[in-house]
Structures are given as C-alpha cells and as structure tokens.
Amino acid sequence: VNTMASRPKSKRDYLSFSALSLYATCPLRYYFRYVACLSEETISASLVFGAALHAGVELHFRELLAGNAAPSLDALLYEFQMAWKSRSVPEVQFPAGENLDTFRRLAERMFRAFQASDFARPSGTIIGVEEELRGPISTGLPDLLARVDLLIDADDALVVTDFKTSRCRWSQDHVIEASRQLLLYHELAGQLGNGKPVKLEFAVLTKAKMPELVLHDVPADVDQLQRTKRIAERVWRAIESRHFYPSPSPLNCTACPYRRACLAWSG
C-alpha cells in the first residue's frame, strides 16, 4: 500500500460507470480496487444478494432470448444459490438478525414479484441480455464499457433497461440522480438502433415484505448527458494524475472491503 507512488498507472484502457462512481465515492477505495488490485477482505451480504438476484433475472431473459419458456421459480432460486456460492470473496458480512436463509426467503418473494410483472414478459424482441457495449463517449476519455442488462427491439424504439434492487421505491429524484449511468449507455446504444430512437428505463424491484417491480422511464436529457460527460472527464483526469486519497464517512466505510488496507495507508 505504501508503494503507491512507485506503482505503474492503471492499465485499464476503458472506463466503466461503476469505476467512475467508485472514484466519486472514495478515491482511495478506487485505487485499492482498480489500480492496486487488492483482494477484498469482506463483502456485504446485500452486495452478494444483489448479484445473485441479478443472476436469476438474467437466466430468465436468456431463456426467452433463446426462444425457450420462462424458467420456473425453482430454477431462478437454484441460479440464485449457485451465484451466491460462486462469489469471489469468502467472508460475507450479514446485517444483525439476517442470515443466508432470510436472504433466500427474500429472494423467493422478489422472484415471485418479478415473474408476475410485465417486465418479465417484454413486448418486442429481446436482442441482448447482459450485452457488452464499448465505444468512445468523449475525446480525451478511454472507451466506455457498458454491460446492458436488457436490450429490446420494440416497434418504435430500442429499449435499454437497467435492473436494480432497492430497499424502497425510487422517487423521481432518485431516478434523475441514477440516470447518469443510462445517459452514458444511450450514447453507445444509439449506434445499434438503425435510426430508431433509444428509450431508457430502470426496472426497480423492492426488497420488501411484499416486493414490487416498478419501471421508470429516464428522459434522454441532452444537458444532463453533457454534464455527465464533463464529470467523467474530470474524474478521469484525477485518476490519471493519481489523486488517490481516503474519503472517510460512516456511509462509505461501514461496508468498505479495504478497511485494514486503508488504516495502513500512509499516503
């Protein structure tokens, strides 16, 4: 950790939205993950849960893409459990009173809500599931690498959907706050649409006693897109200049997998 100055610059020749967000959250955490490539010491149960839930939803759409029937609830739960087991970090931090069984029961309720939703039966043709798109978004920036959860060729638009799990329903402010990710994806998806407009949406499934899935349209706001690009350029410049420093806060640090490395960091 102390040899940061002597390490080579990050070899990544692309940007991802999650990397940009991580830098904005805590530059040192970005460094540990993407430059020093430290192994994570722990992982929060909610992160493992989100990824495993995602795996079940991905399986659903992959089967539809292949022309097969939608998988059963049992198949989704099996996929969930396999994804949970195959996580790369062994030590999972559970919140007080929670364990794998409570998370599994939550997954079952959420998959039921997902299967009952219109989102699970999209109109139009599925043309991509977890589709990787890569391309330039601004001069002076490396390519953006995007992993699009679902791409649908509908009658009037190419629909780009990002699937999220959330503790509670998203407000409109939350949608706008999160929209930067999809606005950047809009830039890449626009090249696939054969002239069709690109429609952006979030599919948000709540982690509740009675989960619900709500679709939120994201307006392709040109001003917001330009602002997002300027933010990405500034963040990239800071990364290239190796501005890595801790940004401690209870919100950032409680679930940080690099707390020990951070305490040992001396600049």
Separation of alpha carbons 28 and 34, rounded Å: 10
Q: Is 36 in the site for ligand SF4 (CB under 6 A)?
A: no
CB of 23 to ligand SF4, least distance (A): 11
Q: By CB under 6 A, how many residues form the interface with ligand SF4?
A: 12
CB of 250 to ligand SF4, least distance (A): 9
DSSP symbol at 10: P
Instruction: Return the number of the residue (37 or 215) whose C-beta is nearest ligand SF4.
Output: 37
Separation of alpha carbons 53 and 56, rounded Å: 5
- Which among 78, 43, 26, 32 has a CA at the least distance from the CA of 238? 26
Of 29, 33, 60, 207, which lies in the binding site for ligand SF4, with binding defined by CB under 6 A? Answer: 29
User: In sequence order, which residues have a C-beta less than 8 Å from that of residue 195 and are 6 or more positions away?
Assistant: none
Handedness of CA 219, 222, 224, 226 (dihedral sign): positive
Q: Is 258 in the site for ligand SF4 (CB under 6 A)?
A: yes
Binding region for ligand SF4 (CB under 6 A) out of 51-59, 115-123, 163-171, 241-249: 241-249
Element at 126 (helix H, strand E) = strand 125-135
Of 7, 28, 106, 229, which lies in the binding site for ligand SF4, with binding defined by CB under 6 A? Answer: 28
Q: Is 256 in the site for ligand SF4 (CB under 6 A)?
A: yes
Instruction: Return the number of the residue (42 or 117) whose C-beta is nearest ligand SF4.
Output: 42
Binding region for ligand SF4 (CB under 6 A) out of 21-29, 73-81, 165-173, 229-237: 21-29
| Whether 31 contacts 19, CB under 8 Å | no
Joined together, the tokens standing for residue 94 give 């559970």
Of 26, 57, 64, 239, which lies in the binding site for ligand SF4, with binding defined by CB under 6 A? Answer: 26
């062994």: which residue's tokens? 90
Instruction: Return the number of the residue (29 or 180) whose C-beta is nearest ligand SF4.
Output: 29
DSSP symbol at 97: T
Handedness of CA 238, 239, 244, 248 (dihedral sign): positive
Of 56, 128, 211, 246, which lies in the binding site for ligand SF4, with binding defined by CB under 6 A? Answer: 246
Q: Which stretches of the chain bind ligand SF4, using CB under 6 A?
A: 26, 28-29, 246-248, 252-253, 256, 258-259, 262
